[in-house]
Amino acid sequence: MLYISTRGNSEPQTSAQAISIGMVPAGGLFVPQEIPNVNWQEFRGLDYSQLALSVLRLFCDDLPDSTLQQAVNVYKDGRFDNPNPAPVINIGGCGLLELWHGPTAAFKDMALQVLPYLLASSTKIVGLDAEVLILTATSGDTGKAALEGFKDAPGTKIVVFYPDGGVSAVQERQMITTGGRNTYVLAVSGNFDECQTAVKKVFSSPDLRQKLLRKKKVFSSANSINWGRLLPQIVYYFWAYLQTVEQGSIEPGSPINIVVPTGNFGNILAAFYAQKMGLPINKLICASNRNNVLFDFFQSGIYNSNRPFYLTTSPSMDILISSNFERFLFEMTSRDAAKINKWFQALGTEGRYEVDSSTLDTCRQNMYAGWASEEGVSQTIAEFYQEHGYVLDPHTAVGVKVYQDYKQQSKDNTYTVLASTASPFKFAQSVLRAIRPEDYAAEDAWKALDRLSELTGWQIPPGLRNLQDKQAQPAQKCRPHEIEKFILEEFC
C-alpha cells in the first residue's frame, strides 16, 4: 500500500515512510493511494486485537507481521481497564461506543498506545539511523496519551505543546506528572490553533530539519495528521458494528449511523474511511461545540477560521482549524490535489477558503453537521444522568445533543452509535456542575473527582486517581514563535 499527498507534492511513499515522517514535508497530508474494500462479515468472531491486526495489515503491508502483532497486543496486555477495550453500551435506543478505557481515560489511547510500535518499526525500515523527535500540539487529551505511549521508548523524544490556560486542571496535571527521561511539556501562550499552527510551521522548516539531521534527529508527529495515528481508529468502527449485530440491535448488513464529537476531524475521518472500506454506515454525523466552524462550512461552503475562539467545557474540541478536513475534502473532490492546494494555501494566508457548489453538495451527501451550545451540553449531561443513570463527559454530550436534534428533525430511525470520547472523570468539574449545580465540590478539581464517584457509584479511572499527590514537573512556558528556539536550544 502506497500513500500519496493531498496536495500532489510528494512521490508515493510506503506506509513506513509516511508514518515515520508524519506529514508531507512541503505541506499536505498522506492518504492511502487506494482504500481497500473488505467484507465486514469476514471479521465476525475475532477479538479486538485480531480485528486490529486484520485492519492494520491491509494498510501497512510493508511492516513486518511481528511488529503489527506486538502493536495490537496492547489491547489485551492489561493497559486497558476493561477486557473489551471499546464496549458498545446500549442505552435509550442507541449505542455508546466507550473509547476511554485506556491509561489516560480518553479515546486517544486507542491509537497512541499502538503508534510507538508502528513508528519504531517504520524508522528502522526506512533506514533512518536517527533519533525521532515527536512534536505534538494538544488541546488536552492527545498530549497525555502521547506522553504515556512514548514515555521511555528507545530512540524517541516526545515534546508536547498545550495552550496555556486552555486545558482542564486534570488534563494539565496528567501531562506534567508523566515523568520519563524523554518527555517535555510546554505551555504555549495563545489558543490551540496558534499552538498547532506554530508546530506545523516548525515541521515544515527545511532549515530546522537540516540542523536536526546533523545531530542525527528527525521530526515525526503523534497528532492525527500522522497516518499511523488515524489507522488504529478505523478498527473500532468495525468493532462497534460487530457488537451492534451481536447485541441484536440491528440485522446483519443493515446500516447504522455514527456520531462523532469532532475537533481536529481525525476520529470522524476514521469512521469515513471505515465506510469507504465497505462498513454499512448510513449517516456520519459530525458534532461540534460552540466553535462551530465545520457546521458553518456545511451550511455555506465557506471555511472561515477568522472568528472568535471560545473556551468551552469540551476543550479537546476547541479548534478552528481542523487539520484532517483536508483529507476529507481530498476525497470529496475526487482527489483533486490542485483544488486542495489552492484552498489550503488560502487558509494559511487568509484564514478562509470557499469550495465550489458541487464539492459542497458532495460533502453534504457524505456527512451531516450540527453543533451544541454550552447550555445544551450541560442540560444533556443532566437529563441523560436523570433518565439513564449514565454519566456523559462534555465531549460525548455534544455528540448526544447534536444527535437528538438530528433525530427530531430528520425522523431518521436508523440505529445509531455515538463515539464516547472521554471518561466523565476527566472533566469532573463541568460534569458535576451539570448534574448538581449547587455542589461546592465542583469548585475544586480534585474534590470534584471524589464527589462524582460518590454520587454516581462509578469508579475513578486508574490513571486519574491521586493525581494531586503525584510529583509534578511544571510546564515550561513559551510563546508560539519561541517553539523553534526551544527546539534549537534543547536538541541541536
The residues annotated with a catalytic role in the active site are 108
Q: Which residue of 75, 219, 237, 265 would you call a contact of ligand PLP, by CB under 6 A?
A: 265
Q: How far is the CB of 168 from ligand PLP (least distance, A)?
A: 10
Residue 399 as a binder of ligand PLP (CB under 6 A): the answer is no
Closer residue to ligand PLP, CB minimum distance, 108 or 217: 108
Choose the binding region for ligand PLP from 7-15, 114-122, 190-198, 258-266 (rule: CB under 6 A).
258-266
Q: How far is the CB of 230 from ligand PLP (least distance, A)?
A: 9
Residue 71 as a binder of ligand PLP (CB under 6 A): the answer is no
Q: Which of 316, 265, 290, 264 is CA-nearest to residue 421?
A: 316
Per the listing, cell 500540539 goes with 137
Q: Which residue of 16, 21, 55, 106 would you call a contact of ligand PLP, by CB under 6 A?
A: 106
Choose the binding region for ligand PLP from 11-19, 58-66, 265-273, 400-408 (rule: CB under 6 A).
265-273
Stretch 407-446 residues interacting with ligand PLP (CB under 6 A): 421-422
Closer residue to ligand PLP, CB minimum distance, 28 or 263: 263
What angle (nearest 5°) sits at the alpha carbon of residue 232, between those of residues 23 and 158? 50
Residue 108 as a binder of ligand PLP (CB under 6 A): the answer is yes
Residue 221 as a binder of ligand PLP (CB under 6 A): the answer is no
Choose the binding region for ligand PLP from 28-36, 82-90, 255-263, 406-414 (rule: CB under 6 A).
255-263
Residue 249 as a binder of ligand PLP (CB under 6 A): the answer is no
Closer residue to ligand PLP, CB minimum distance, 245 or 419: 419
Stretch 274-333 residues interacting with ligand PLP (CB under 6 A): 316-317
Q: How far is the CB of 110 from ligand PLP (least distance, A)?
A: 11
Q: Which residues bind ligand PLP (CB under 6 A)?
A: 106, 108, 141, 224, 261-267, 316-317, 395, 421-422
